[in-house]
Structure 1
Amino acid sequence: MRRNKQQGGEKGIRQKTIRELNEEYGWSISELCRTAGITRDAYYKWLKRGTSNNQQEQEDLLSAIMDLEKEHKGTLGYLGMTTQLASENRLYFKAGIKRVTNCMRSNGITSNVRRKKRNRIKRREEYINDNLEELKTSVQGAIDYFNRKRAYASKNGLTAEQFRNQAVSC
């Protein structure tokens, strides 16, 4: 007796292929099952089986994601999509960020990310040079203020430069 062992990938792909070939070309189910390496019984069990709860949830999740994608014009990322789904109670089940991320990735849904315009940003050296020039001018201004303009009460109301000149002349 043969067992139905499928290698990874999508489950039921052989059965789907058998159904499509039968509908399209009218080939017999027995021959198609024999060629695919599965039993007729397994094919008919698969055919009668409805969608599982997980598949139904995934379809509902995808439709909710597509609705939000249209509403927000593609600006929601994985985290934003997850929080919107939770806050608006669009789902009857809980969908975490991992599940939303996998659903979006597998269906090619991405967010529009705005990129910075790099040509407007100065290079680091230009910033350093500008800052050094500003520093030099501010230090020169401070020296000028404290030496020539500010009067000190301890020096009888004279500026530092006037006090020095008075001390040298005496």
Structure 2
Amino acid sequence: MAEKTGTVKELAAIANVSRKSYYQWLKREVTKHELEDQAILEAIYQIEKRHQHSAGYEKVTKILNNVNGKNAGIKEFTFNFNFPINIKRVRRIMREHGIKADIRQKKHNLQRQVQQYKEDNLLKRRFDQPLPNLVWVTDTTELSYGVANKVRFHAVLDLHGRYVISYLISPTETADAAINVF
């Protein structure tokens, strides 16, 4: 497919800029800030090559500013920039050029741990009881039915005759359901 080219006037009209602005942009000088960014980018590429794409923007900023940190390998570069390098600037340059650390973030388990209470072994494996209503035990069991349906079966058992005294079927396992069985 042949590409069509147009005149500067037509292209400027498409881009919604004036011809004068286009020629000013064409002849503009590179700013000091852009030169600094280019120097920082070249240094970032060196750091990325040395650290095998595992250095994030915080570590890169420390290396560029020659900050001696705890991480091994920060002292191996000596960049002498005569201007301070901000972490926001490093992050912007890395984002603009698609530079990322190839490391996986830790996934933290956000489930809150419930405190569990461990009681003394009062029964001492004496499951045969001589009289009724001396020892009751309880249990909660999850029962599945159908494809994805589950219920919880809460029961209280008397160890003398090994019969169910009370039971409750609930859709969720809650402390209220276990207490209601009693």
TM-score by length of 2: 0.46
Larger radius of gyration: 1
Relative to its length, the structure with more strand (as a share) is 2
Relative to its length, the structure with more helix (as a share) is 1
Higher relative contact order (CA 8 A, sep 6+): 1
TM-score by length of 1: 0.49
